[in-house]
């Protein structure tokens, strides 16, 4: 069974069973879609459909999954050639002494980070190395965060690991097989209105409301996902509902209120708990509350043990 390759803020491995309990029976699902893919914990654990689509607004992230699907051997080969993050910088490559802004490069990790941030401007851009750098940084940075500044540059500092595994060979090979035949998009989440058909399942795990109980670090790209975007997602969910598409959304409790008026359309909101292992503040990790919003009628209560949440 494939497992997520990347660490990703907001990952759903802790509440897989609860989310899956809201899905219709697998035999009743035609195609599966994830408009906010991230680390893909739900897809890799639960999806066995012949047809599916995945999407994320993060261009580098979706390039990574395209490379995993199409060129896993090349990706593994490049990763195998990388050094420990605390090693000396590679003097044969750029940024071995200082960054483009003049900051001192202390070790191999910061050289790799600078290369990653400058690659889009590089005439010799290599999409496989881009994917390799993303995985390397993800597996060696502080807490496995993915964070961009307002300029779109990855700015997470080096983590402290004795023997980090950034190659992830087994996971890459299994994920490559799971992604065969899957359509990969780098679009706005509204692509799903045209993509999903009656009888399909759409699972959405958007960036959470930064003011909600279940907030995690949501700045995984330089763009924001605020109240207007959450309302736009709700409107997309309503359009999918009108098409006969099954919709399941995990979100912060504060967002559940905007679906309350649509109970008559079949949307139900349930509250669940989830443990957060990725947080910039170590004291803030632990159990938080989330809600699952769905129009799927057939709920497997024996798996979820949930009560409907009232606002």
Any idea where the domains of the chain sit in the sequence? 13-57+187-302, 64-171
Burial 161-188 (b: 16+ CB within 10 A, else e): eeebebbbeebbebbbebbeebebbbee
Considering 65-79, 259-273, 291-305, the range whose residues carry the highest mean pLDDT is 65-79
pLDDT for the residue numbered 256 = 85
Q: What number is the average pLDDT over the span 65-84? A: 98
Distance of CA 280 to the CA centre of its chain: 17
Q: Which two three-digit tokens encode residue 245? A: 């598409």
From residue 24, give the alpha-carbon distance in Å to each of 11, 20, 162, 193, 201: 21, 8, 43, 19, 8
pLDDT for the residue numbered 307 = 40
Instruction: Label residue 6 by pLDDT band (50, 70, 90).
Output: very high
Of 149-158, 179-188, 284-293, minimum mean pLDDT range:
284-293
Topology of domain 13-57+187-302 in CATH is: Rossmann fold (3.40.50)
Q: What number is the average pLDDT over the span 291-304? A: 64
Q: Does position 277 have pLDDT exceeding 70, yes or no?
A: no
pTM over 0.75: yes
| Distance of alpha carbon 311 from alpha carbon 308, whole angstroms | 10
Q: What value, to the nearest 5°, has the Cα angle with vertex 23 and ends 21 and 28? A: 130
pLDDT for the residue numbered 26 = 85
> Going by CATH, does the domain composed of 64-171 fall within 3.20.20.140?
no
| Distance of alpha carbon 219 from alpha carbon 221, whole angstroms | 5
Orientation of helix 108-118 relative to helix 127-140, angle to 10°: 140
pLDDT for the residue numbered 144 = 87
Q: Does position 299 have pLDDT exceeding 50, yes or no?
A: no
3-state helix, strand, coil in the chain (%, to 5): 40, 15, 45
pLDDT for the residue numbered 84 = 97
Whether the CB-CB separation of 143 and 159 falls below 8 Å is answered with: yes
- pLDDT per residue over 131-178, tens digit each? 999 999 999 999 888 888 888 899 999 999 989 999 999 999 999 999
């Amino acid at each position: 069974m494939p497992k997520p390759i990347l660490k990703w803020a907001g990952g759903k491995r802790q509440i897989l069973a609860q989310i899956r309990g809201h899905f219709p029976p697998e035999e009743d699902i035609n195609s599966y879609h994830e408009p906010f893919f991230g680390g893909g914990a739900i897809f890799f654990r639960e999806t066995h459909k012949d047809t599916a689509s995945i999407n994320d607004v993060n261009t580098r992230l979706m390039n990574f999954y395209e490379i995993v699907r199409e060129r896993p051997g090349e990706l593994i080969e490049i990763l195998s050639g990388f050094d420990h993050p605390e090693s000396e910088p590679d003097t044969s490559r750029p940024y071995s002494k200082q960054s483009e802004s003049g900051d001192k490069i202390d070790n191999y990790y910061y050289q790799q980070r600078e290369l990653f941030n400058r690659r889009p401007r590089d005439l010799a851009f290599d999409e496989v190395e881009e994917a390799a750098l993303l995985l390397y940084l993800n597996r060696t940075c502080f807490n496995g965060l993915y964070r961009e500044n307002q300029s779109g540059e990855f700015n997470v500092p080096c983590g402290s690991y004795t023997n980090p595994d950034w190659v992830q060979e087994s996971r890459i090979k299994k994920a490559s097989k799971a992604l065969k035949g899957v359509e990969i998009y780098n679009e706005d989440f509204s692509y799903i209105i045209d993509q999903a058909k009656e009888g399909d399942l759409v699972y959405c795990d958007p960036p959470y409301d930064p003011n909600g109980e279940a907030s995690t670090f949501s700045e995984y790209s330089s763009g924001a996902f605020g109240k207007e975007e959450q309302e736009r997602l709700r409107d997309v969910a309503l359009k999918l509902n009108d098409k006969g598409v099954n919709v399941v959304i995990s979100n912060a409790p504060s967002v559940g209120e905007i679906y309350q008026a649509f109970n008559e359309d079949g949307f139900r909101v349930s509250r669940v708990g989830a443990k957060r292992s990725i947080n910039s503040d170590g004291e803030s990790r632990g159990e938080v509350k989330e809600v699952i919003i769905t129009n799927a009628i057939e709920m497997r209560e024996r798996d979820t043990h949930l009560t409907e949440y009232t606002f």
